Chains A and B, each alone.
Chain A
Amino acid sequence: MATMSIAGKSVELDADGHLANRNDWNENLAREIATQEGIPELTAQHWAVINFMRTVFDKEGDAPSIRRLTKESGVDTKTLYQLFPKGPAKRAAKIAGLPKPKGCI
């Protein structure tokens, strides 16, 4: 299993390169992953998306769809793609310390 080293601490990654253990996640780690994904700074809107995804995942066991993200997180579709240009669902999930979303929408 691949690992990532952050601030002297080594964390395990799953086959998709997402965190293998959710408990390893913290906000500094999120910033670190974001930088690797080409997002140098996490704004309040980034955090709104990340926190919404984590809340939904805790309740339902999968990350929300893009449609639900835009309807319920308060960030519209256009902004979502600006915040996470290389594909919002997967990137946001990765930064949020969640596995790759399963849904198609």
Chain B
Amino acid sequence: MTETNAAEPIQKVSIIVSKGSLDGIYPGLIMANGARMEGIEASLFFTFFGLDAIIKKRMNNIKVATVGNPGMHMATILGAIPGMSAFATSMMKKEMEKLDIPPIPEFITMIHDAGCEIYACRATVDMFHLKKTDFCDEVDGVISVGEFYEKAAGAQIIFT
């Protein structure tokens, strides 16, 4: 057999979630979960509005952006109609349930149980005057950017 120069498999990923919409949060969660499923070490770092995904009072109420989101293929004026975002969110959640993609709180628990560490960004926490008690139990800590880089040593960093 001839030797091939196969690329080194990915060992570790650190995924940053910076957006607070449904479509801003899910990709990062799916990638973190998918990494663990493949036996890849993973951590999640939530910053700015991405923090909504791990704030107890907000995580159940994440919506799709129907305004300013060209991917929705919807006129801005339609997207702005009251209830439109809730409607689009409910449609999307139904489709996701069919694919066995869990609601955000369940997904966060599942990912954490899978061994992925979950962190909140110190700067955002200070800026929004948040406390550790505002976060769901799965959050392993509030850390600075420097600590994030330390923990991400040897990892591929993915920004979403």
A86→B99 contact, CB < 8 A: no
Partner of A67, one of B38, B39, B102, B115: B102
The CA-CA distance from A68 to B102 in the complex, in Å, is: 10
Give, as a whole number of angstroms, the nearest-CB distance from A64 to chain B.
8
A85→B39 contact, CB < 8 A: yes
Would you list which residues of chain A between 23 and 82 have a CB under 8 Å from chain B? 65-68, 70, 76-78, 81
With A87-B36, A90-B38 as known contacts, state yes or no: A103 contacts B115, CB within 8 Å. Answer: no
The CA-CA distance from A70 to B112 in the complex, in Å, is: 14
B101 contacts A by Cβ under 8 Å: yes
CB neighbours (8 Å) of B102 from chain A are: 67, 105
CB neighbours (8 Å) of A65 from chain B are: 100
The CA-CA distance from A105 to B29 in the complex, in Å, is: 10
Interface residues on chain A, number (Cβ under 8 Å): 19
A96 contacts B by Cβ under 8 Å: no
B110 contacts A by Cβ under 8 Å: yes
A1 contacts B by Cβ under 8 Å: no
A7 contacts B by Cβ under 8 Å: no
Partner of A88, one of B34, B37, B100, B101: B37
With A67-B100, A103-B100, A104-B34 as known contacts, state yes or no: A76 contacts B39, CB within 8 Å. Answer: no
Give, as a whole number of angstroms, the nearest-CB distance from A99 to chain B.
15
With A90-B37, A90-B38, A105-B30 as known contacts, state yes or no: A66 contacts B115, CB within 8 Å. Answer: no
